[in-house]
Amino acid sequence: MDIKKILILKDKRMNRLLQIVILTIFLIPVEMKAGSQATDPQKTAPTVQSKPTYDVLLKEDIVYAQGLSHESPHSSQSTIMLLKLDVYQPANESKNRPVYLFIHGGGFAGGTKQQERIKTLADFYTSRGWVFISADYRLKKNKGTVPQEWIDYSVNLPKEKVRQYLAIYPAIRDAKAALRWVVANAQEYGINTDFITIGGGSAGAVTAVTIGISRPEDYRDELTLDQDPTLASTNLDQTYEVRTIVDFWGSKIGLDILNEVYGHQRFDGNAPSLFIAHGTKDPTVPFKKAKDLKAIYEANDLPLAYYPLKDKGHGAWGASVDGKKLEELAFKFIVEQQSLIVE
């Protein structure tokens, strides 16, 4: 081959190499850009608003599960109750919303999901971008199904405490079912289940603390479907992970019972972040209960916001700290702990 042909061939190879380099330079950014446009919104932190921005849309009395109500404690005669919740949605088009499930108080004997204080909280958070859910559950008067181990343990309690104690199991069982319903219906309401907050006041806070820290099988698997067929209505195939707990004047009694009845100690270094607000002169749930939770969280080096409400009693909804209302303080804590985007 003469030198002229060699040079022509070399030029062709160089031109081809140059074309490949040019295509590589221009095509790679295009592919990366296309990938970024297809990012799943559920993989990114939700955006919430620092001020009330959205109208609040309310769906009431949605059935989330069923539960048994017995004629008398432990009797075989029972009826089926429909368990209901309310969903507050922000009037926006987001498919990437955080969710806040709130459980009402009332000593496991009273209260409803539509208490005025809960509606105020719902408006506060929903108008800023959360889906806020308030759930009812079976109360003491409903005599929900209780595992035999709980009945056996109840003989150790003062007689006047037994019925309230036995009301705790079905209440927490139901609230866990409500949370599984949230997960099962997340797509319909644009909920990102990586950003779950659960809160409550008094008995509701007991429930929230228990759900956030206990294992998914607790308050679920102690009864079989033969003992309680309504368990089949509770989205048993759904799982969840709570990111933040909001405890207004509650306690860890639901976890203490697991330890006393079954020997299950559930506190460890993986518990969700916890916000506590508790009156220092609470005659119903003593302030010591808040200090006990604080000590456990500090011992496990867990994220905690702790607000002793000086000289306040039980149900200190109107309390403030340094001019900030409780919902504002909790807002700040949730945002920080969940790395939400605030506009």
Q: What is the pLDDT of residue 40?
A: 58
Strands (E), the chain: 47-48, 56-70, 78-90, 97-103, 131-135, 191-201, 244-248, 273-279, 304-309, 320-321, 324-325, 341-342
- DSSP assigned state of 92: S
Residues 315-333: tens digit of each pLDDT: 999 999 999 999 999 999 9
Residues 24-83: tens digit of each pLDDT: 333 333 333 333 334 455 679 999 999 999 999 999 999 999 999 998 877 889 999 999
- 3-class SS at 217? coil
Question: Which amino acid, one-letter code, is at 35?
Answer: G
Which structure tokens are listed for 161? Answer: 């405490």
Q: How many CB atoms lie within 10 A of CB 110?
A: 12
Q: What is the pLDDT of residue 41?
A: 54
Q: How far apart are CA 133 and CA 109, in angstroms?
A: 21
Helix %, strand %, coil % of the chain (to 5): 40, 20, 35
- Angle between helix axes 253-262 and 162-184 (nearest 10 degrees) is 110
Question: Which amino acid, one-letter code, is at 257?
Answer: I
What is the residue-averaged pLDDT of the chain? 90
Residue 271 · residue 213 · CB < 8 Å: yes
Q: How many CB atoms lie within 10 A of CB 34?
A: 9
As a whole number, mean pLDDT of residues 155-178 equals 96
Facing residues of 247 across strands? 200, 276
Which structure tokens are listed for 312? Answer: 């306040």
Query: pTM for the whole thing?
Result: 0.87
Q: What is the pLDDT of residue 235?
A: 98
* More confidently predicted of 56 and 1: 56
Residues 188-216: tens digit of each pLDDT: 999 999 999 999 999 999 999 999 999 99
Instruction: With a cut of 70, say whether residue 20 has pLDDT above it.
Output: no
Q: CA 6: distance to chain centroid?
A: 73
Q: How far apart are CA 150 and CA 270, in angstroms?
A: 27
Q: What is the pLDDT of residue 74?
A: 73
- Angle between helix axes 326-338 and 116-126 (nearest 10 degrees) is 40
pLDDT-derived band of residue 227, with 50, 70 and 90 as boundaries? very high
Q: How far apart are CA 136 and CA 69, in angstroms?
A: 14
Residues 228-282: tens digit of each pLDDT: 999 999 999 999 999 999 999 999 999 999 999 999 999 999 999 999 999 999 9
Q: What is the pLDDT of residue 298?
A: 97
